Amino acid sequence: MAKSERKSKWKRKFRAIKREKNKKKELMMLNTVIEKRNQALSEVMATETSVQEDEQMQVAGEQKVYNSKTKLDKNGNYPAWMNQRAIKKIKKIKKRLNSKK
């Protein structure tokens, strides 16, 4: 038996012992995390219904309209969901079209 084989056998043995020793502690920690998660979910569900009603009333009045070609709204702003790469691409195309005219 080579030195590395002996060493790895020894390490495997002690890792198995360590797993057994820490199993209780891990289960306790997992159970506390699950309990906290369930409590948080119940609190969120309770407050979510009132928040949804408020959002529906606000969203109805604030629909932004974007131009389909330029992707700009009436103030000249791009949508929040659009990344900078896409904005640069649109600007580049617009510049190319304007230079041809």
| pLDDT one digit per residue (tens) for the chain, 101 residues | 567 888 899 899 999 999 999 999 999 999 999 999 999 988 888 777 666 666 665 555 567 888 888 889 999 999 999 999 999 999 999 899 889 86
Q: Per-residue DSSP letters for the chain?
A: --HHHHHHHHHHHHHHHHHHHHHHHHHHHHHHHHHHHHHHHHHHHHHHHHHHHHHHHHHHH------TTT---TTSPPPTT--HHHHHHHHHHHHHHHHH-
Q: What is the pTM of this model?
A: 0.38
